[in-house]
Structure 1
């Protein structure tokens, strides 16, 4: 809940709805209608289906004499999250899909979840669902033995074992899937195999050509889907890379794993010689990043619980959250008005930015 007693209120206190989930928050997603959901290490998906009944814009006051803007604190706790529990042991496979979400279960079912947490079976796999994605009416899922795609009600199964991470390109034309030793890029013209180990996350550039892969302690890899060899490696990270994001407004790729926000010009690829200095350097590692969909801004979450907003390619940044447990996930809503935040202690939050905040 929002603790507003015995201390000065911060910007985060004034614009964020906060909940305590009881388990580490591993993933955050927004549906197309702005509904947010969080996946936890306790096998649950928690959905903020109820609208904010005290949005920041409704609490803004402008003094008549000085024109000073203030935000009144919240008077009530936010509505509780809708919980879909016991999906699996550990973090459930999880994706946004239209105005709802998809979640995988230990029994192999792929469920569609609405904003109230109502679950409807979509299709089933033979084993526990380990990865999910959904783009442009296409759903992709993997268990330990096969990769399954569904489009317009038609299910296609490929008997390829071991995939743990997958990502559909924004237009749905390409599907990248990673196992312990390689990434396979599936498309209509044929499949390409790229030797990459220890892939924990995959993300496509908005045009579906470049694929970024987070490699943990091995850094970051960038793959041109139209010419997948050679792979372009970025290895000089002081910590494991677990989070990455493409920024269309800034035409940049960003990553966690350094003592500041790491960013490169996506328009210059395959060259990565010139980094885009973004935000302020420090002594704490960035654990998570998310790119604003409409502005050249990136959110970064740190191991000390801080969350900042920075403009890509500049040193200016805004401190949003001051402290707490290590940030584990960040996600912007499709309209950029909201930022979902999760941390290792089980705190989940949605920061809603006033309409005039980024003028």
Structure 2
């Protein structure tokens, strides 16, 4: 497996100051979403607002790199222009809304009381559905459908005409939804079971006690999430085989699959917890364990897998953000501790940008030069 070399520390200012665009919002950041056109990032705030920022960096780091003629060393100069402020909506609900990329333009937004909006990259809010009952989860499939989970079950809508065309009653409140990227099946996490549903066919039921979102590997080989007993559950989709990994210091509310490393990573430990999926931990938690980055005394809160390299980013409870290489102790400190936890973290599909949100209301986009990771 080709491996990536992390850059060594230098005497320059902290990487975060050089690479990241940072905006304060005065409200805790709960989640983020990148639109399908890869132009805009939406951050859901705890006060019901949504903050929108452009993904493209007007002063990308590669244009600020200079090389010293006498030594050949490269450095990045600081930004020279002030950042425009984010676009902020009015509160769309009395708490944080749920976000999903629209199949057509911008974002779909679900309020806790059932209203569904379309949010454009410029911040225009259009109400699509009037609320009738609370929405617990929201997902879109990239082909014109979106699904909402409510107390009575799952309802599929066509995003163009908004007509509900399929429904799946459930006997427990669903709190996690995701469309599988290739088959377009819908994975539904309930309190007592996991359902895999191909609309038009009866759902498959699996005895997995889930707690929160379902995450799917990009190649649709595995899905996983937090288990109700505080561990991590994984299902191999080809076989339906399930394993549950325990011994986390805190429930692993954030997990990710890294295709390059063939691995899964999870938050909830004092380092980036990970396992190789070529030697999956069906029989023992130690099987295939990957020790990535350095152990510490602070819990990881969020993890995000790079889409094309064997790298994983981790956001910590003290606000630090590191980038580690799968299975190796090397790590790069991107953001130093501030005291406020990192609450959301995710790479863009091109692997150039890392979105970051924190409990004290900071939103940021770190943009990496093409040759930073060798």
CA distance in 2: counterparts of 1:100 and 1:305, whole angstroms: 29
8 Å CA contact 1:110–1:129 kept in 2: the answer is no
Further displaced range: 288-297 or 170-179: 170-179
Further displaced range: 67-76 or 347-356: 67-76
Partner of 2:122: 116
C-alpha deviation, 1:235, in angstroms: 0.7
C-alpha deviation, 1:211, in angstroms: 1.4
1:103 aligns to what SS in structure 2? strand
Q: Which residue, 148, 157, 161 being the options, matches 1:150?
A: 157
2:63 aligns to what SS in structure 1? helix
Which residues of structure 1 form unaligned runs of 5+?
A: 1-7
C-alpha deviation, 1:181, in angstroms: 2.8
CA distance in 1: counterparts of 2:167 and 2:23, whole angstroms: 39
Alignment pair present for 1:286 and 2:321: no
Partner of 1:5: none
Alignment pair present for 1:181 and 2:192: yes
8 Å CA contact 1:135–1:171 kept in 2: the answer is no
C-alpha deviation, 1:232, in angstroms: 0.8
2:16 aligns to what SS in structure 1? helix
8 Å CA contact 1:239–1:258 kept in 2: the answer is yes
8 Å CA contact 1:47–1:82 kept in 2: the answer is yes
Alignment pair present for 1:200 and 2:212: yes
CA distance in 1: counterparts of 2:195 and 2:90, whole angstroms: 32
CA distance in 1: counterparts of 2:197 and 2:219, whole angstroms: 16
C-alpha deviation, 1:100, in angstroms: 2.1
C-alpha deviation, 1:22, in angstroms: 1.2
CA distance in 1: counterparts of 2:296 and 2:19, whole angstroms: 26
C-alpha deviation, 1:205, in angstroms: 1.6
Partner of 2:245: 234
Paired residues in the alignment total 351
CA distance in 2: counterparts of 1:201 and 1:250, whole angstroms: 23
Partner of 1:3: none
Alignment pair present for 1:190 and 2:202: yes
Partner of 1:4: none
Alignment pair present for 1:20 and 2:30: no
Alignment pair present for 1:346 and 2:361: yes
Deviations 1:209-258 (A, max 9, x none): 42101136611011234444x53100111122110001111111110011
1:39 aligns to what SS in structure 2? strand
Q: Which residue, 166, 170, 177 being the options, matches 1:166?
A: 177
Deviations 1:180-228 (A, max 9, x none): 3332221255312233445122101223242101136611011234444
Deviations 1:253-274 (A, max 9, x none): 1100111111111233363512
Q: Which residue, 118, 123, 139 being the options, matches 1:133?
A: 139
Further displaced range: 217-226 or 85-94: 217-226
CA distance in 2: counterparts of 1:87 and 1:336, whole angstroms: 31
8 Å CA contact 2:274–2:289 kept in 1: the answer is yes
TM-score, structure 1 as length reference: 0.90
Which residues of structure 2 form unaligned runs of 5+?
A: 1-11
8 Å CA contact 1:30–1:331 kept in 2: the answer is no
Alignment RMSD: 2.2
CA distance in 2: counterparts of 1:145 and 1:26, whole angstroms: 26
CA distance in 1: counterparts of 2:317 and 2:125, whole angstroms: 34
Further displaced range: 140-149 or 290-299: 140-149
C-alpha deviation, 1:54, in angstroms: 2.1
